[in-house]
Structure 1
Amino acid sequence: MSDLYWLTDEQMARLQPYFPKSHGRERVDDRRVLSGIIFVNRNGLRWRDAPREYGPAKTLYNRWKRWSDKGIFIRMMEGFPRMLFPQRAMFRVFRA
């Protein structure tokens, strides 16, 4: 499938600080999982309909749930203005 969504190296490097450190056993790559989560949300799919290239559907859902509960996606969104405009620290992000 050539129309799959994959984060670039540069995008992942910018997002990496927001992810928790890996402890214990090796897990499915964060880049692969996050790309899958974005693909599912962009296309309005059910988790079980995600292409296998992103990993098991249960892994995608569990990681999305865990990261959501830990506030990782909110911290990413709050950090985007600082990543995009580092010289303009005066921007503020408000929750709706």
Structure 2
Amino acid sequence: MARGDLTDTQWDRLAPLLPGGKKPGRPPIWTRRQLIDGIRFRTRTGVPWRDVPERYGPWGRVYDLFRRWQRDGTWQSILAELQVQATTANATRLSALSTTSSDTGPWPRGTTSLQSDTKRPSSSKSSMSGCDQHIRYTPQCRVRHRSPRLWRRRSKSVG
């Protein structure tokens, strides 16, 4: 197994999502795992298809599998199913954490975030009142909506 190849755990998760063979007959020479590892090698490194190492199978067979699954939407369905599995796993972990914790987070009770004991001195530019209410650019909110460098350049060119 090469450094970037699928682990057994990853393969066990991926194998049920792969489409089954359509025709009975002679067993394949190259396993799907080898071919998929070849596809992953090519996409990870960006080498031309002809430079895919021989341990993954002939480059034409690796490309053929990649292209067939790209055309029929197999890669999209695999990605969608893996995303669903990841979302449900994360939701399960989050629900387990929320039921075991009585706090809202790792912060002290009564706070929603880490609050600094020292307040930063506010500058006159950042404490302009009414800036959140402006939809269009106005001089009162120039710091929030426009870079000071552009403001200076524009004011010099205007006047």
1:29 counterpart (14, 28, 31): 31
Note if contact 1:32-1:55 (Cα within 8 Å) is conserved in structure 2.
yes
| 2:50 is aligned with 1:51 | no
Question: Shift in Å at residue 14 of structure 1?
Answer: 1.2
The farther-off stretch of 22-31 and 54-63 is 22-31
- Structure 1 runs of 4+ aligned residues shifted over 3 Å read none
Question: Shift in Å at residue 61 of structure 1?
Answer: 0.5
Length, aligned pairs only: 88
The farther-off stretch of 76-85 and 27-36 is 76-85
Show CA shifts across 1:3-53 (max 9, x none). Answer: 552111111111112222123322221111111101001111111100111
Whole-Å separation in 2 of the counterparts to 1:36 and 1:46: 12
Q: Percent identity?
A: 31
Decide which structure has the larger Cα Rg and report it. Answer: 2
Give the TM-score taking structure 2 as reference length.
0.50
Q: How does 1:1-40 map to 2 (within 5 A)?
A: 4-22=3-21, 23=23, 24-27=25-28, 28-40=30-42
SS in 1 for 2:5: coil
Q: Which has the higher contact order (CA 8 A, sep 6+)?
A: 1
Whole-Å separation in 1 of the counterparts to 2:44 and 2:9: 20
Question: Shift in Å at residue 82 of structure 1?
Answer: 2.0
